[in-house]
Structure 1
Amino acid sequence: MSIGNSPDDGRPSIGRRLRQARVESGLTVDEISSTTRVRAPIVHAIEQDDFSRCGGHVYARGHIRTLARAVGLDPADLIAQYDAEHGGRPSPTPAAPLFEAERIRSEPRRPNWTAAMVAAIVAVVGFVGFTLFSGGEKDSGRSVAADGPTTRPATPTHSPSKPADPKPDPSESAIAAAPANKVTVKVTATDAASWISAKDHNGRLMDELVLKEGASKTFTDDKRIDLVLGNAGAVQLFVNGKEIKNVGDNGQVQRLSYTKGDPEAG
């Protein structure tokens, strides 16, 4: 299926929207495949609105959701468009009715009159003995109560518990104690997910990933860190313990480099 517009409302197709967002973010298909773990041939097929290689509607929705987050699009909007174009989500299958097994009635047991008589005799003997014993105990109890002094039970005293010492508030940023002889960069996805990549001063790749909203990642090197942000407006950036303001706009790709010392001095 070629890239085009949705046949229903004239808006761009799912594949075209994903491809346009990827190109505007400055990312290649291989970079998206490496970050999202979606194989490159499937990425190419989805961008051409060919979902047959996904293996079914469930996997197609999952791939669309993953690719949308990687390029800064709203996954819910694309999933809704996919459901509208492919017949919507399947209706849940009603559970089969359960049949209650017929209960087997047990035959009534015949009463054991011998055991009943023995139990009745034991109860009568016990009641008579208890009555005689209780009468003697009442008389002796009264005399003891008359002779002995009346004492009140001591009221237990409870010492007020000492309030626990308040726990110290954690530091607003663990990067505030960054060592001065190294380069330390902390990236936090505050507003939305963002694709990030970091390399050391030798050009070796330290890590590349899609940083989910609310997650953080810290990089450290002896000399320099080269950073690529796929959605610069959605991240908060600390370099050597200092926050960098106005990193970029939403959906903007930023390529930055930082060395030791004050990041804004040079």
Structure 2
Amino acid sequence: MSLGNSPEDERPFEDGREEAGLSVGRALQQARIAAGLTVDDVSNATRVRIAIVHAIEADNFAPCGGDVYARGHIRTLARAVHLDPEPLVAQYDADHGGRPAPTPAAPLFEAERIRPERRGPNWTAAMVAAIVVVIGFVGFTFVKGGDDSGAGQQVAEGSEAATSAPAAPKPTKNKPADQKPEPSDSAIAAAPQDKVTVQVTATDGRSWISAKDHNGRLLFDGLLKQGESKTFQDNAKVNLVLGDAGAIQLYVNGKKIEDDFQPGAVERLTYTKGDPQVG
């Protein structure tokens, strides 16, 4: 049994709020009626449940499950009835104590402890020190035993032998390993097999997104502008909410997700390790 009503069965009612301006739910309802759409029509177009559409139009946002989901539903319904969603979202935030500052994204990878590189002996410095000692010894011998030509000659020969000794080989620098190509826009290079890695890119417009790890910890909550990209990683799973799934392209564990998301649709997705599968 459908809960939707035909536009003819709904009539704007006048009350004290008309003078002060329409509420968020009232504005959505009147725009829907003006567009000649029923609640069923809006629900089918947005995939927002009929009961939630009725509740929002009555300014009851409790069934949405929180402010994050309420904002996403408001944007989706506004687009379906040809309204600009941003003023409505701003009005919702003003009516509900303002929007909290977005939580910065958690680090994607655990920082490894950098161990000091173990260096070998500095042969060049050692050889220079040895040459300085030999030269000093030769000079001292010449000054002290200048009359002993034989000894002087021997010392000179020894000095020549010392100075002509082959220089110690210079330590060669370790050649850097072959650099891996930078990850392209179509994949996440070398995605770890023991983690789940999700790349979210706003390719066809901007979209609000929310991401949580397997413990429910919020990784990101904010607006992703067109062309921007975010990457999330967790040991077990990543939970996503896409405010406008039609504007988003997903890569999970290095593979492109080919789901046909509709513009304006709100999607709740969960991905785990291995082949990308919605949990």
TM-score by length of 2: 0.39
Which is greater in Rg? Answer: 1
TM-score by length of 1: 0.41
